[in-house]
Structure 1
Amino acid sequence: MAPPHETSAAGSESPVPVVTVDVAAASDLITSAGHRYVDVRTEEEMNKGHLHNSLNVPFMFVTPQGKEKNPLFVEQFSSLVSKEEHVVVGCQSGKRSELACVDLLEAGFKNVKNMGGGYAAWLDNGFPINTPPHTMY
């Protein structure tokens, strides 16, 4: 297992170190170490498939003007997860979740980790997912 590495958001005045773990490490943390998983993809993305027992707090919304940051993200996240809980944050590829982790760390969350590669890497590794039921018309 590769050790976590730290990254920081580009352009921030005081970089906040984000710990990024690969999907295998994230899977271990979620299934064995009691970490909660919060998916920051849109509701539409979540409806196509998601990790078991994942929570969803969209970091961005798709609007007619393009993607816009959810102005209530930290507030909504705080309503589901305490600042002391151990959390793995993921998105489709790992970029939005990294940005989300920066915001969460700046807001005082102590134990958040970014899942590198995101949901796409989760799928590529064959880890289990929940998918919506298929309907026949």
Structure 2
Amino acid sequence: MVYEELDPEGAYHRQREGWRYIDVRTEQEFAQGHPEGAVNVPIFFMGPAGMQPNPGFLSVVQRLFPTDTPLLVGCRSGGRSARACELLASKGYRQLVNIAGGVSGSATVAGWRQQGLPWSTQLEGVSYRALTSG
């Protein structure tokens, strides 16, 4: 495995140590609330035929974060973020954590919100639209 996996509480401790949080959920999911300090770079967009890959995912992450940046990667429950970690590792990122359980939790891990970790609905400067405009 080319990335580490931590539960939300472990990821929160890393975030407090300076790791950056990328939320790879859709823009709509992110707008409903997200871990405080996260930036939104969706790995997929919702299209008429379901989830479609975001062709700009890697280029946006590479523009925002050099490959030596320690990154926490989260989604709803951990699946999309695991895929994002694999893609990022293939481009030279080496300090990667997939957040098991994501924001909503899984059958075995309580999510970020369920664990009462800092939550935000603030979009200014952290939404995908803000990160990719001008």
* TM-score in terms of structure 1 length: 0.81
How much does 1:131 deviate?
2.5
Task: Give the structure 2 partner of residue 22 of structure 1.
Answer: 7
Q: Which runs of 5+ in 2 are unaligned?
A: 105-110, 123-134
CA RMSD of aligned residues (A): 1.1
How much does 1:24 deviate?
1.1
CA-to-aligned-CA distance 1:27-64 (integer Å, 9 cap, x gap) = 10002x11010100111001000111211100000000
* TM-score in terms of structure 2 length: 0.83
* Counterparts of 2:115 and 2:37, CA distance in 1: 18
How much does 1:122 deviate?
0.3
How much does 1:124 deviate?
0.9
Does the CA-based 8 Å contact 2:3-2:94 persist in structure 1? no
Task: Give the structure 2 partner of residue 111 of structure 1.
Answer: 95
Match of 2:117 among 95, 106, 127: 127
- Alignment of structure 1 residues 29-40 onto 2, 5 Å: 29-31=14-16, 33-40=17-24
Does the CA-based 8 Å contact 2:19-2:71 persist in structure 1? yes
SS at match of 2:112: helix
Q: Which runs of 5+ in 1 are unaligned?
A: 1-5, 7-16, 133-137
Task: Give the structure 1 partner of residue 65 of structure 2.
Answer: 81
SS at match of 1:119: coil
Determine whether 1:90 maps to 2:74: yes
Task: Give the structure 1 partner of residue 53 of structure 2.
Answer: 69
CA-to-aligned-CA distance 1:68-121 (integer Å, 9 cap, x gap) = 111221111111111001110000111000000000001111111101100110
Identity rate of aligned residues, in percent? 35
How much does 1:18 deviate?
2.6
Determine whether 1:45 maps to 2:29: yes
Aligned length: 116
How much does 1:19 deviate?
1.3
